[in-house]
Structure 1
Amino acid sequence: MMPPKIGRREKGLNLSCTICDFDTYAKSVPKALKESGLPDLLQGVKKVLIKPNLVNSSPFPVTTRPECCAAVVDFVRSCSNASIVIAEGCGEPSMETTDVFRRLGYHEIAGRLDVELVDLNYAPLRRLTDPECNFFPDIFLPEMAFTHFILSVPVLKAHSLAGITCSLKSMMGFAPPQYYSGSHGIWRKAVFHENMHQSIKDLNKYRTPDFTLVDASVGLADYHLGGETCSPPVGKLVAGADALAVDRECAALLGLDWKTIDHLT
């Protein structure tokens, strides 16, 4: 039996997304989060999990800037008494998420804000089943995915296999490597690459973010691990409670038609 999802669906709120011009994280993040209705969603929430996209230790715009997450923490605290963690499970096989946190400056941010950093690759797990999921009729996901309000903070990037990686695909960070590295272990979430779009769909049937803030201040135009940045920089933040709507808007910001990206249809 599937556990209830916390957050937006139970509250019956309007599911839409907001696009704001980017100035600085300190100015623009609060504006985007307020205008997109996050304070209402956080009413009654006791635990918040902020999930950046830290696929490896490459700096922004491949990964989420710690300053962006810090601005999110400050805003959540301004309108909620919920406890907060920053959690991710990196995909790089040659390092641990704790190494990525350290290299990208998350330890300094966490220390200053008194926020716990959690490596999702080693978090206690729950097994779930759904026969309607074609690729993952059963799946293992961290227990805390179902005890926390998930606030996803990805960056805007094109993806070589998925077309785009934003809110929905970033949920792969929750997948435990011991089950999803594949037979070769070249990439910690390699099983998802066998059928990328369907695996993203299935994963998000089990758990999708309660809220998303996409850092589209720059954007990667061609490839999710590097390559050309968007020129000129996109200069936007995209926020909302409907991850699918957010990702469709982000596809447009990259000049892509979401109707041609299978997991967005």
Structure 2
Amino acid sequence: MQKPCIATPFSSYQETVPSLLQAVGAPGLLSRQSCILIKPNLVNASPPPVTLPVAACEALVAACRRWSKARIVIAEGSGDRDLSTGEIFQRLGYERLARRYDVDLVDLNNAELVELQNPLCEVFPTFMMPRMVMDSFVISAAVLKAHSLAEVTLSMKNMIGVAPPAYYQQGGHWKKSAFHAQMHRSIFELNRYRKPDLAFIDASVGLAEYHLGGPTCEPPVDKLLAGFDPVAVDAAGSELLGIPWQQVEHIRLADGLLGRAGK
């Protein structure tokens, strides 16, 4: 049975990731996929916990390979001003991971696109989405972090990486700057077009105040979270940061429409 959200104590990625995915009921669903896209949070080239540790992604790849014959893709579209996604893959060890497991690395900033439309969306009534994101089983692999504009950056916020800069770099140096003016509604609307099929949050450490650095959570949160309801997973993650999910507008907007945040 597929579970909306489970949080489990962290021991190691090698041990905890597969046991967590088993607990949420992932193996059977993964076995039926033809392409699995793992979308790590690689916002820039900073080391963890700003970015997803390559060891966490490796554990996800190994679990997918164990349970599925699907093509496995690690895909990201970094927002960094100076570095390409490919350079960030290289600096953070993702190229070595891809070679070891014979998986593909994809820069979503330059991927083939498809135009989507939703008249219920106010900020993005149309959205240019990488076709691969629509055609794959998407695992959003986030890191537990507070965020200066979005309160938290978790599995739904992590999906901003799919937005192509050719359309969503609108002023400023950040490659996804079109999301800034109405950050919460933009996150919500993006996830109306494409929410993760499986949400994963590395909460082994956590960033307590700011998504690009600053103090880590003390003591470390020491958990991993996963589930098939990204709203429930993000609500649980927000609570681990000491932020009631009801205070996070994009989670509140998504509650009841894209999933259930819970009590």
For this structure pair, what is the TM-score category when the shorter chain's length is used for normalisation? over 0.9
The CA deviation at 1:15 is 4.6
AA matched with 2:146? A
Distance in 2 between residues matched to 1:235 and 1:179, nearest whole Å: 38
What whole-Å deviation, never above 9, does each CA across 1:116-170 have from its counterpart, x for those lacking one?
A: 1000000000001101001100010100011100011110000000000010000
Deviations 1:10-38 (A, max 9, x none): xxx65521111101111111111110111
Residue in structure 1 matched with residue 239 of structure 2 by the alignment: 252
Inter-partner Cα distance in structure 1 for 2:237 and 2:162 = 22
Matched, 1:223 2:221: no
Q: Which residue number corresponds to residue 261 of structure 1?
A: 248
Equivalent position of 1:45 in the other structure: 33
Query: Following the alignment from structure 1 to structure 2, what is the Cα–Cα distance between the partners of residues 141 and 208?
Result: 12
- Provide the C-alpha distance between the structure 1 equivalents of 2:28 and 2:188, rounded to a whole number of angstroms: 27
For normalisation by structure 1, the TM-score amounts to: 0.93
Q: Map 1:63-212; keep pairs closer than 5 Å.
A: 63-182=51-170, 184-212=171-199
Judge conservation of contact 1:93–1:185 (CA < 8 Å) in 2. no
Of 5, 12, 16 in structure 1, the residue corresponding to residue 4 of structure 2 is 16
Amino acid of the residue matched to residue 114 of structure 1?
D
TM-score (norm 2): 0.94
Unaligned runs of 5+ residues in structure 2 are 253-263
Secondary structure (helix, strand or coil) at the match of 1:140 reads strand
Letter in 1 for 2:157: K
Match of 1:30 in 2: 18
Whether contact under 8 Å (2:130, 2:162) holds in the other structure is: yes
**Following the alignment from structure 1 to structure 2, what is the Cα–Cα distance between the partners of residues 42 and 263?**
28
**Residue type of the alignment partner of 2:74:** I
Query: What code does the residue aligned with 1:234 have?
Result: V
| 1:61 is the counterpart of 2:49 | yes
* 4+ residue segments displaced more than 4 Å: none
Q: What RMSD over aligned residues (CA atoms) do the two structures have, in Å?
A: 0.9
Contact 2:155 2:230 in 1 (8 A): yes
Name the SS for the 1:216 alignment partner: strand
Contact 2:3 2:25 in 1 (8 A): no
- In structure 2, what is the equivalent of residue 6 of structure 1? none
The amino acid that maps onto 2:199 is T
| Identical residues among aligned pairs (%) | 50
Q: Secondary structure of the residue that 2:48 maps to in structure 1?
A: coil
Distance, in Å, in 1 between the alignment partners of 2:102 and 2:62 is 11
Which residue type is aligned with residue 55 of structure 1?
V
Higher relative contact order (CA 8 A, sep 6+): 1
Name 2:257's counterpart in structure 1.
none
User: 3-state SS of the aligned residue for 1:222?
Assistant: coil
Paired AA for residue 249 in structure 2: D
Whole-angstrom distance in 2 between the partners of 1:195 and 1:53: 21
CA distance in structure 1 between the aligned counterparts of 2:8 and 2:47, rounded to whole angstroms: 23
* Count of aligned positions: 252
Q: SS of the counterpart of 2:211?
A: coil
1:43 Cα offset (Å): 3.5
